[in-house]
């Protein structure tokens, strides 16, 4: 009987060794941007996160209803978490969905007297230059979260850290200075630093079409 038990233990150990090591899925491995994160983040990081999520969900994931500005959202999201402490595990994007007045398409509402209908709105190199380091960090966090959880294109994988992408975008934008080259969207600059193995598969292919910009 004892020999039989030892044999079973040995067999189980061999099976365990033959299995590949388990890794966390992309969504699990990424940050939980929920109520606890929101309460600890600075106002600049929150604002940047909303911009990054909005940009990616609208123009890369092609999901409507995420074109509101941080100025329109942050107070609503903060109020929701304060009034619903039991919802601290709910993600910021899910709260955004709950508090949204109505879904809309690519056009972004008026900001500072201007209406932005072009792809990626005002989120270009000049916007990046004026942002704080926390705002840039939030943008990258939001954009990466969206790319890793809502965009399935194999050529659009980003496995590096938030700091890696923020530093690369910083360097690119700084090299252009005040020239018109910084009219390029931050999201387009971001794509330059996607994983090389994946970007190679896209050689010769066109980028996916942008969603319509009319309401």
Residue spans of alpha helices (H) in the chain? 2-18, 26-29, 35-40, 43-59, 70-83, 92-99, 125-130, 133-150, 162-176, 186-191, 196-199
pLDDT at residue 32 in the model: 86
At 109-148, the pLDDT tens digits run: 555 545 556 788 899 999 999 999 999 999 999 999 999 9
- Does residue 130 contact residue 182 with C-beta atoms inside 8 Å? no
Whether the pLDDT of residue 102 is over 50: the answer is: yes
CA distances from 93 to 73, 77, 101, 144, 213 (A): 11, 9, 14, 13, 21
Distance CA 30, CA 62 (A): 21
Q: Is the pLDDT of residue 52 over 60?
A: yes
Which residues, in sequence order, are CB contacts of 48 under 8 Å at separation 6+?
Answer: 70, 131, 134, 135, 136, 137, 138, 139, 140, 141, 142
Residue 48 banded pLDDT, cuts 50, 70, 90: very high
Residue % of the chain over a pLDDT of 90: 57
pLDDT at res. 152: 82
């Amino acid at each position: 009987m004892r020999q039989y038990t030892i044999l079973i233990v040995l067999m189980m150990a061999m099976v365990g060794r033959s299995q590949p090591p388990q890794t966390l899925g992309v969504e699990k491995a990424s940050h939980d941007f929920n109520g606890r994160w929101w309460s600890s983040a600075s106002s600049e990081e929150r604002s940047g996160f909303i911009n990054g999520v909005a940009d990616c969900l609208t123009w890369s994931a092609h999901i409507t209803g995420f074109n509101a500005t941080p100025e329109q959202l942050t107070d609503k999201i903060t109020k929701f978490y304060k009034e619903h402490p039991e919802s601290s595990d709910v993600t910021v994007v899910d709260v955004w969905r709950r508090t949204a007045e109505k879904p809309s398409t690519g056009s972004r509402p008026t900001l500072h007297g201007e209406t932005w209908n072009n792809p990626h709105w005002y989120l270009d190199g000049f916007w990046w230059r004026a942002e704080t380091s926390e705002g840039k960090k939030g943008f990258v966090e939001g954009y990466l979260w969206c790319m890793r959880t809502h965009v399935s294109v194999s050529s659009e994988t980003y496995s590096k850290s938030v700091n890696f992408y923020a530093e690369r975008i910083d360097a690119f934008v700084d090299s252009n200075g005040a020239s018109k080259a910084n009219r390029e969207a931050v999201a387009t600059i971001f794509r330059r630093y996607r994983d090389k193995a994946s970007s190679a598969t896209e050689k010769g292919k066109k980028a996916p079409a942008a969603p319509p910009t009319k309401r």
